[in-house]
Amino acid sequence: MSKVLDELIDSIKCLPGVGPKSATRMAYYLLQRDPKGARRLANSILNSFELLGKCTSCNNFSETPTCNLCLDPKRNKKILCIIEMPTDLLMFEQTHSFDGMYYILMGRLSPLDGIGPKDLNMGGLYDRCKDEQIQEIIIATNFTKEGDATATYITELLKDLGKKLSRIARGMPSGSEIEYTDSGTLAQAISERKTINQKF
Ligand SMILES: [Zn+2]
């Protein structure tokens, strides 16, 4: 086969869950059926890397140093909710039951995949939580083995800050991920959150 085509197929394989067969199929599709879409995709990827950085406040991707959500004066600056992924933020926003701030870890601790505290920039999280405006920190990592381990690590990390720490309620079944939880259950998990450090 062509070297260029090989390279395209190989690049597509970097997407999660895409093996050699689907990558080949997608490459032919882009070239043969949708060259316009393919160009648009290529440009969007390049643009994203050029124009997007991380919000200094919530760690989400943003075109500006601080993202729109963090700049919104209507958000409650006293509560910070720690989540794993930007998709979790969308889920929480859909519940319309949380108006506080977020911090996005961009992953979870997972020793098996070689993801440790340094890879998740836990230092950045600590600095964000030191903000004097923040009074309560809700740990909303997933109820999976890795999510729970991450929650335990964060609890240890933040316990000397003297702020109220809570974990979203286990209304969600164990092993469940926020991304696949319905709005009602998620809203309940926030409102029934459990305080971790007793003195608050
Ligand atoms: Zn932000």
Per-residue pLDDT tens listing for the chain (200 residues): 799 999 999 999 999 899 999 999 999 999 999 999 999 999 999 999 999 999 999 999 999 999 999 999 999 999 999 999 999 999 999 999 999 999 999 999 998 888 999 899 899 999 999 999 999 999 999 989 999 999 999 999 999 999 999 999 876 666 778 888 888 888 888 888 989 887 76
User: 103 CA to middle of ligand 1, Å?
Assistant: 8
Tell me which fold the domain 54-195 belongs to. Answer: Dna Topoisomerase Vi A Subunit; Chain: A, domain 2 (3.40.1360)
CATH code of the region 3-51: 1.10.8.420
What lies within 8 Å, CB to CB, of 22 at 6+ separation is none
User: 65 CA to middle of ligand 1, Å?
Assistant: 8
User: 21 CA to middle of ligand 1, Å?
Assistant: 38
User: 167 CA to middle of ligand 1, Å?
Assistant: 21
Kindly list the domain boundaries of the chain, sorted by start residue: 3-51, 54-195
> What are the start-end ranges of the H helices in 15-56?
20-28, 35-51
Read off the pTM.
0.82
What lies within 8 Å, CB to CB, of 116 at 6+ separation is 109
